[in-house]
Structure 1
């Protein structure tokens, strides 16, 4: 399991020089995790909000304030951390990679599989490390469940159910503009479910996809609107089945309902949030009517994907072929939208 490494190990490696593009809540949280790891120093930060910059400077008081990405790239950086609105991710990531700078980006890496492939191709051409903040991979519970599946301990895993509902919607207007966000709850929340399913099952090919996309309880018909509820079924090439549901503003009776269940011929495994929490999870191995607890809260997992990328960058890692997994996830998202009758064209 990729845990945060010890401070002794961190000090034995060269600190990488990072620029931070976008320092809202998520950007600052990842910045803190990276800096606390001992692997990185914040050389420069950029954000259009003076309030966000002020708060970021409390974490990195010596970082220069850059006006934009171009000024960040002039600072002889090893890597750029991107936490900007989704429509900007592809262009910004490719620009940094073409400048010979590694990239860690918030999801989605692009609004379509074509955009994501463009970033991955740029990473390969530049031979620079590319990371995406698919943070749930780094929870203790999901790591253990994946190991159970891959080791064959659950027998043949033939089905999976994954869910991510919340009682809220995003508080930024750009989330509701498909040209800026790429979509609604599917690309915002469902991306984690698709990634976890494919990652645990070793990225099998997907044979067929069916889906329903809804907004305000009605089928999504206008290409300019975004979905607030998605239900999809993926039939894999080996006939295994994966069911996914995600939503914004669901009448859930709590803040969030998050779960991933995997069913095998010799047992099952379950990952669940606790009391509606976005951060606390339990994981269990299932056998008939019994369950064995694998992981329980508390656990500080939110920054682990960021620290993992930073530590690999500090060790000198360059292009990682596993970046092709980002394209596989984006391709499934495209197919879910297409099956639901959604236009994927972006300007």
Structure 2
């Protein structure tokens, strides 16, 4: 009798291309190579220093002269995009149209219109599209999500979202709305808006009220400046109040404050960073004055969203309508925050 190999062993690794390997792109590449059945076949990166660093981890990868070369490569199964925001939509569309699955950094598009175009390309090509909404994949937020879904803290009537970054981005394109699509809301707030909407089954948002500031002065135009502080109040169709506050360069007394707190009629829950860290999170459940800690660090979550994407592509996942619609819904709320 001839022994046969398990299906998993017969399956070839995903052959991936990477557009942009700055520190985020490089981190995602390294995690994919370590934790998913993937190979790095090609890299496009205009900054030589970044490309050289990436090749240390992806020794067999070939540097391509342009993203277009990558799109034309029929041997690639997927493309990972970690470039400035203005490039995300068009690069994702071209990659999808060329028959590749796509894993893209957020935002998928600078506007809901751009996000819709990418989703349309995913549907037309029947290729799986994912966005690096990384906090969904932390053990701490998974615990909060499961707590909400179980009904253990009851019906959620209020959500408080906070993301203060004492430093702000170090790349100048973040401060140009034509290239970034927005300031701290687009950079930081989008993560927390996604967490809130996802946990609440993406309810219809009936009201959005925004107060956006640049260096302490209320913004009336984005032509010269993007916001570095935002306070946003949203109300859902079920009268759930969702409050968002986010900033760059704020005097927060620590490197970062990152929180998503949910209040239900049977209790509360919170996803919180630890000691100002950008990487360490806890999950807490509240009952009156009592606090129960559900999850504590460490948790190697960086890059986990990419691994989930790769596993789905390996399993044959094509266009996924539910997640694609979520990308559009979140982008639409971001547009409303900016008054677009």
If the TM-score is normalised by the length of the shorter chain, which range does it land in?
over 0.9
Unpaired runs of 5+ residues, structure 2, are: 1-5
8 Å contact from structure 2 (residues 36, 307) kept in 1: no
Which residue of structure 1 aligns with residue 318 of structure 2? 318
- Confirm or deny that 1:297 pairs with 2:258: no
Give me the TM-score of the superposition, normalised by structure 1.
0.94
8 Å contact from structure 2 (residues 138, 301) kept in 1: yes
Q: How far apart are residue 151 of structure 1 and its match?
A: 1.4
Change (3 A) 1:12 1:147: farther
Q: Output the CA distance in 2 between the equivalents of 1:11 and 1:142.
A: 33
8 Å contact from structure 1 (residues 228, 248) kept in 2: yes
Q: Output the CA distance in 1 between the equivalents of 2:243 and 2:235.
A: 9
Q: Output the CA distance in 2 between the equivalents of 1:334 and 1:10.
A: 43
Aligned positions of 1:65-144 closer than 5 A: 65-76=63-74, 77-144=76-143
Which residue of structure 2 aligns with residue 4 of structure 1? none
Which residue of structure 2 aligns with residue 3 of structure 1? none
Which residue of structure 1 aligns with residue 61 of structure 2? 63
- Confirm or deny that 1:256 pairs with 2:256: yes
Moved more, 70-79 or 204-213: 70-79
Which residue of structure 2 aligns with residue 28 of structure 1? 26
1:56-105 Cα offsets, whole Å, 9 max, x none, are 00010110000111111222211000000000011100011111111100
- Confirm or deny that 1:270 pairs with 2:241: no
8 Å contact from structure 1 (residues 271, 283) kept in 2: yes
Q: Output the CA distance in 2 between the equivalents of 1:163 and 1:307.
A: 27
Q: Output the CA distance in 2 between the equivalents of 1:73 and 1:257.
A: 39
8 Å contact from structure 1 (residues 80, 101) kept in 2: yes
Q: Output the CA distance in 2 between the equivalents of 1:145 and 1:301.
A: 15
Change (3 A) 1:11 1:142: farther
Q: Output the CA distance in 2 between the equivalents of 1:10 and 1:117.
A: 35
Aligned positions of 1:152-231 closer than 5 A: 152-224=151-223, 225-231=225-231
Moved more, 261-270 or 67-76: 67-76
8 Å contact from structure 1 (residues 10, 38) kept in 2: no
1:257-300 Cα offsets, whole Å, 9 max, x none, are 00010000101101110000000011111000001111000100
Q: Output the CA distance in 2 between the equivalents of 1:138 and 1:67.
A: 33
The alignment of Structure 1 onto Structure 2 pairs a total of residues equal to: 332
Q: Output the CA distance in 2 between the equivalents of 1:169 and 1:24.
A: 17
Unpaired runs of 5+ residues, structure 1, are: 1-7, 339-343
Q: How far apart are residue 141 of structure 1 and its match?
A: 1.3
Q: Output the CA distance in 1 between the equivalents of 2:259 and 2:8.
A: 34
Give me the TM-score of the superposition, normalised by structure 2.
0.96
1:106-152 Cα offsets, whole Å, 9 max, x none, are 00010000100110111011100001000000011111111111111
1:290-345 Cα offsets, whole Å, 9 max, x none, are 0111100010001110100011111111111121100011000000110xxxxx5x
Q: Output the CA distance in 2 between the equivalents of 1:317 and 1:122.
A: 15
Q: How far apart are residue 9 of structure 1 and its match?
A: 9.6
8 Å contact from structure 1 (residues 283, 294) kept in 2: yes
8 Å contact from structure 1 (residues 13, 315) kept in 2: no
- Structure 1 segments (4+ residues) deviating >6 Å: none
Q: Output the CA distance in 1 between the equivalents of 2:154 and 2:179.
A: 43
Q: Output the CA distance in 2 between the equivalents of 1:325 and 1:54.
A: 36
8 Å contact from structure 2 (residues 72, 98) kept in 1: no
Q: How far apart are residue 11 of structure 1 and its match?
A: 4.8
* CA RMSD, 1 decimal: 1.2
Moved more, 217-226 or 23-32: 217-226
